[in-house]
Structure 1
Amino acid sequence: MTTDSRPVQTDGQGAENGHPCPSNADDFFHRGLDLHRQGEADSAISLYLQAISLCPEHVDACFYLALLQRNEGDLAEAARWFDQAHCLLPQEATIVYEQGVTRYSLEQHHMAIEHFKEVLVLDDTHWQAAYNLGTALLAQGNMAEAIQAYHRAAQLNPQDADIHFNLGLACKRAGRLEESMQSYLCAMEIAPDDAEVHYNLALVYKGLGCKDEAIASLEIAVALRPEYGAAHGNLGVLYLDQDRVAEAKACYRKLIELDHNAASARHILAALTGETTAVAPSSYIAELFDSFSGHFEERLLVDLEYRTPWELKSLLLADPAGPQHFARLLDLGCGTGLVGQIFQEISGCLVGVDLSAKMVEAAAAKKVYDHLAVAEIVTFLEQNREPFDLIVAADVLIYVGELDRIFAILATGLAPQGRFLFSTEQMAGQGYQLRPSGRYAHSFSYIEAVAARHGFRILSTQSANIRKEKGAWILGELFLLGF
């Protein structure tokens, strides 16, 4: 998780009047300026406009009218009057700067960037223009130039914490974590009581693998701002990673109290306290996999030695009575598209569905699916009108405890000779169980009973190592079902 950039800064200074105007125009302007300062916006606007009607070249009236219009929220009118002031006095850096601020507020980032660059040509000591140039470039995703602009602002005004904060943010987004850490440390020295600085520094420490330092920074963040939900959430994850379960529980209870990602917090707290719920919340699954999307496959295949899709395919094709090619394949919980890649050669039409928009985006980049959807799987199946010959759920049912609802809708979405192929995490005994990992394990007898209730036959099964967790294998079961 990251924090948005700090707001654009404005110095609010006036411009020198570049053209002589009649004294009565100046009179209207000064009366307007007095009312402006007293907060009488409508009357001030009227007097500024009268000054401009008497003297269209009254640059101060144009400039202060623009400032007032912006303060009143009329950004389009503010931009028009700043442009007019700029035409009258093109070499005045203050006017160009305020043009840039206004264009940024209008989300016209390209124009804002050009204005801020022009300011720096006119006045190379204008640190606010350098700062806001960085902010506009950051909004456009141009990290390299944003970093350069923030460095320039920091050289001009090294004691401004916001500059170092946004420099840290830009470096983090560029993957330059060591530089990001140094920038946040600078911000922390200037603003030691800023919880956001400590929070963002913690995220960088986490990215660098410095988990103790990340925990320490998050603990400071929540001490400074006890209602800081995102910090409590990240702290809970790191506590769990270090098996500090009691402290993690306290974090998730705090999230519930704050009503911050409360559904996910309740799910994790249930898992940690031995309560078995029916299903993981959709919000929990979407957030979990959105957060993994950037490095999901590398972590899954390399760190966790995940091979379940390949093993599922082998189980499917080993069925001597079964088909070897499938006209329509549905990949439930498609993730980044591993199943799509592996099963592409044995399917005619490939459809994927996942709760995580970022996962679906990654799957789309593989260009193996004929159709992709961001949806909850039961909802998707309820709306589906054309049956599938093969439905694959690789590591999907581990986020569902009670399976009757899914099996019921699968029975209506599968073609008469279709196959349902899936994996589970093993457990001894009866029923299903929510584990401390936040995932569910299912007994063989439970799968057998649910399948029978909905007209499925177990065609074949196979025990398998699903993935590694903290260096140890998670034992699972692979199932092939038909009617």
Structure 2
Amino acid sequence: MAIEHFHKVLALDDTHWQAAYNLGTANLAQGNTHEAIRAYHRAAQLNPQDADIHFNLGLACKRAGQLEEARHSYLCALEIVPDDAEVHYNLALIHKELGCRAEAITSLEIAVSLNPDYGAAYGNLGVLYLDQDRVAEAIACYQRLIALDHNAISARHILAALTGETTAVAPSAYIAELFDSFSGHFEERLLVDLEYRTPWELKSLLLANPAGPVHFARLLDLGCGTGLVGQIFREITACLVGVDLSAKMVEVAAAKGVYNELAVGEIVTFLEQNQEPFDLIVAADVLIYVGELDRIFATVARGLGKNGRFLFSTERMAGPGYQLRPSGRYAHSSSYIEIMAVRHGFRILCTKEANIRKEKGKWIKGELFLLGC
């Protein structure tokens, strides 16, 4: 094995920095992150003027969650190769994770100035510009990214949102990418930073309906995410099923142990392939990633059994129809939901206006619906 070979070389010559470096790289490739860090540290002590050693040490430290150490390693690399776009880019990602947005922007701006074809840098720079409401600069970043990569699906969706184009649905790749990136700290951000209460509000709306059941044989959690809805609704169902596009979100949900069944996939496809009807289908903050709702309402109607219930939230808008907002999410009017309900054989049992979540310190206005079939 390569690792054993490099250990033998170092046993014969403990000043062999290339062997220490290669030992770090071999360990990193096999997922032995802490062993890789030790080997890279040894290589850096033996040859402190090698930028690749510092760069790879930064990669290993980031993988280990040692963000300050990673930042230090990238800064050491830049002292040796100040014009390396890749080092500036990776330093920007560390700045971003540490909450140093201004420093991240500066590093990304340097990266794209050094390499005008650096698509990933434009994508991250666009996100950071949007965080600072620098919309024109964000648009320019996404336009450049699309010019470099005509298949940049997520960038096309964000650009449409920023330029006032209303599309029918957010691409599945965009949703999966978005929530995969959030999975590690999703609930903390939702519950603490955004003061998210929608699952609890939906359950209250459901149980406040005097004509409806209070327990359900089969419940489907559409867009289950990390399993917040599952935790809250588990006590009122015998069988809880969840589906989500994000594999990383489903991993987190599975670890909670509240679902009888979990699937990774597109929600309409899942419903179309489902054989056993559900008594209740819940979609908390799911329709905000779909504009045109005909197909979802049709498949939900087919997926529900007799007297089934469809419980969901929307972001509310005053005008007719639906609209793709600069956030990349869709808002729907009450009248549009009413049209969809009638078209697909639902009765609106009750509705409630609600604050969905906070965004940049302000409440997003939404609406909760309970439909019956």
2:291 to 401, 416, 422: 401
Which of residues 159, 177, 186 is equivalent to 2:49? 159
- Higher alpha-carbon Rg: 1
Q: Aligned-pair distance for 1:114?
A: 2.4
- 1:281 maps to a residue whose letter is P
Letter in 2 for 1:367: G
Q: How does 1:272-351 map to 2 (within 5 A)?
A: 272-351=162-241
SS at match of 2:184: coil
**Deviation of the 1:189 alpha carbon:** 1.4
Q: How many residues get paired?
A: 373
Deviation at 1:295, TM superposition (A): 0.7
Correspondence for 2:248: 358
Q: CA deviation at 1:263?
A: 1.6
1:436 aligns with 2:298: no
2:277 to 383, 387, 396: 387
Q: CA deviation at 1:296?
A: 0.5
Task: Tell me how far 1:171 sits from its aligned partner.
Answer: 1.2
CA distance in 2, matches of 1:428, 1:183: 51
Distance in 2 (alpha carbons) for counterparts of 1:465 and 1:323: 26
Corresponding residue to 1:192 among 82, 88, 103: 82
Does structure 1 residue 457 correspond to structure 2 residue 347? yes
The CA distance in 1 between the partners of 2:23 and 2:151, in whole Å, is: 34
- TM-superposed CA distance for 1:165, in Å, is 0.4
SS at match of 2:7: helix
Counterparts of 1:238 and 1:431 in 2: how far apart (Å)? Answer: 31
In structure 2, relative to structure 1, the CA distance for the partners of 1:353 and 1:203 (3 Å cut) is: same
Larger relative strand fraction: 2
- Aligned residue number for residue 363 of structure 2: 473
- Deviation, structure 1 residue 142: 2.8
The alpha-carbon deviation at position 316 of structure 1 amounts to 0.7
CA distance in 1, matches of 2:28, 2:123: 26
Shift of 1:137: 2.0
Deviation track 1:17-47 (CA, whole Å, cap 9, x = no partner) reads: xxxxxxxxxxxxxxxxxxxxxxxxxxxxxxx
Do the aligned residues in 2 keep the contact of 1:293 with 1:358 (CA within 8 Å)? Answer: yes
Residue deviations 1:395-443, cap 9 Å, x none?
A: 0000000101110111100111111000000111211111110000001
Question: Partner amino acid for 2:160?
Answer: A
Measure the CA separation in 2 of the matches of 1:392 and 1:136: 47
CA distance, structure 2, for counterparts of residue 212 and residue 354 of structure 1: 34
Match of 1:255 in 2: 145
Q: Distance in 2 between matches of 1:369 and 1:170?
A: 35
How far the C-alpha of 1:139 sits from its partner, in A, is 2.4
Q: How does 1:78-227 map to 2 (within 5 A)?
A: 111-227=1-117
Structure 1 counterpart of 2:157: 267
Aligned positions of 1:3-18 closer than 5 A: none
- On the 8 A contact 1:239/1:248 being kept in 2, the answer is yes
Alpha-carbon distance between aligned partners in 2 of 1:171 and 1:203, rounded to the nearest angstrom: 13
Deviations 1:195-241 (A, max 9, x none): 11010000011111111111111111111211111111000000000
Q: Deviations over 1:250-300 (max 9, x none)?
A: 111111111165221111111111111111111110110011011101111
Q: Is the 8 A contact 1:229 1:260 kept in 2?
A: no
Measure the CA separation in 2 of the matches of 1:455 and 1:327: 22
Which residue identity lines up with residue 365 of structure 2 in the other structure? L
Letter in 2 for 1:381: L
- Provide the C-alpha distance between the structure 1 equivalents of 2:64 and 2:330, rounded to a whole number of angstroms: 37
Task: Please say if residues 282 and 355 of structure 1, whose CA atoms lie closer than 8 Å, have aligned partners that are also in contact.
Answer: yes
Q: Hey, what's the Cα distance between the residues in 1 that align with 2:371 and 2:73?
A: 56
> Could you tell me how far apart the structure 1 residues matched to 2:77 and 2:201 are?
50
Give the 3-state SS of the residue equivalent to 2:168 in structure 1.
Answer: coil
CA–CA separation in structure 1 for the residues paired with 2:356 and 2:182: 18
User: Residue type of the partner of 2:291?
Assistant: G
Q: Choose from 128, 135, 138 the match for 1:238.
A: 128
Distance, in Å, in 2 between the alignment partners of 1:115 and 1:388 is 58
Q: CA deviation at 1:113?
A: 2.1
CA distance in structure 2 between the aligned counterparts of 1:132 and 1:482, rounded to whole angstroms: 63
TM score, norm. by length of structure 2: 0.98
d(CA) in 1 for partners of 2:227, 2:53: 40
- CA 1:291–1:260: 2 relative to 1, 3 Å: farther
CA RMSD of aligned residues (A): 1.1
The structure with higher relative contact order (CA 8 Å, sep 6+) is 2
Partner of 1:103: none
Q: Contact 1:255 / 1:261 at 8 angstroms: preserved in 2? A: no
Structure 2 partner of 1:58: none
CA distance in 2, matches of 1:255, 1:129: 39
Contact 1:350 1:371 in 2 (8 A): yes
Identity %: 84
Q: How does 1:60-75 map to 2 (within 5 A)?
A: none
Secondary structure at 2:358 match in 1: strand
Task: Say if 2:306 is the partner of 1:416.
Answer: yes
Cα distance in 1 between the residues matched to 2:202 and 2:5: 58
Deviation at 1:364, TM superposition (A): 1.0
Unaligned runs of 5+ in 1: 1-110
Distance 1:261 1:201, change over 3 A: farther
Structure 2 Cα separation of the partners of residues 191 and 369 of structure 1: 51
SS of alignment partner, residue 240 of structure 1: helix
